[in-house]
Amino acid sequence: MTKADFRNISVVLVNTSHPGNIGASARAMNNMGLTNLVLVRPKEFPSGVAIGRAASAVALLDNARVVDSLTEAVADCGLVIGASARSRRIPWPLLTPAQCAEKALEAGTNRVALVFGREDTGLSNEELRLCHYHVRIPANPGYSSLNLAAAVMVICYELYKTATGVDKEGAGPAEREWDQELATGEDLERFYRHLESVLIAVDFHDPENPRQLMQRIRRLFGRIRIDVMEMSILRGMLSNIEQNLRKRDPMD
């Protein structure tokens, strides 16, 4: 059986309210071979309750990274997948747990974040817009709300299963090569700010009447999955447009 290597994959828990869910999520990760845990503004951490629920995964809690925002948590990631059980006003590329595992493993050496939201309200719309894809775990329509640690276990299990080929008699996942690293979350945020500035300058975008333009642009580029060379080309195009605008209006 192929040994799984998840060094580039992190599980990100946003604003977790009960420390027991942090510990149980760490245990689920450890069961499936994942070791990178990131906590965004946990309500209570460190916690003896979390340690008690973690069982043999206390090392994951000791090494967990605690940050102030999801933007900070995914800044160095080339792929961000957010768990969402709710329909959104603007549909986002949606994955099954199995497809989520395939995408995460296809990312190669790029850093990957698997993001899980609050126990009661999940991820906000703003947080979900930071994700390239959403993953939804199929469940009983009459009671589809999963416990946080249970959701983490389902996704981690799919990762382990796909990486090791345990359900394919030893066959591992398909490998895909790419000639460039993927753009990180921080790269994308700078690009979106730059793009919005240029769109305003050419009177294509009115920030007073945005009409969901930037949300749809985020969805478009998130679906494409930009690499660093493509990002450099796009930023260069935007800079060239700005230079030409200044030449036309030298008093600006």
Question: Bigger pLDDT: 175 or 182?
Answer: 182
**Is 177 inside any structural domain?**
no
Strands (E) in the chain, as ranges, are 9-14, 36-40, 65-67, 79-83, 94-95, 112-116, 133-135
* Residue with the two structure tokens 């977790």: 16
Averaging pLDDT over each range in 87-91, 142-146, 212-216, 235-239, which range is the top one? 235-239
Residue 252 has pLDDT above 70, yes or no: no
The verdict on 115 and 203 lying in the same domain is no
DSSP state of 118: B
Residue 215 has pLDDT above 50, yes or no: yes
Looking at residue 21, which CATH number applies to its domain? 3.40.1280.10
The confidence score (pLDDT) of residue 172 equals: 46
**Is 175 inside any structural domain?**
no
At 125-181, the pLDDT tens digits run 899 999 999 999 998 988 888 899 999 999 999 999 999 987 665 444 444 567 788
**Is 3 inside any structural domain?**
no
**Domain range for residue 110?**
9-164
Into how many domains does the chain fold? 2
**Is 86 inside any structural domain?**
yes
Cα separation of 62 and 1, whole Å? 30
Quick one: the chain helix, strand, coil %, rounded to 5? 45, 15, 40
User: What integer best gives the mean pLDDT of the chain?
Assistant: 90
**Is 180 inside any structural domain?**
no
The verdict on 160 and 231 lying in the same domain is no
**223 burial type by CB count under 10 A (0-12 exposed, 13-18 middle, 19+ buried):** exposed
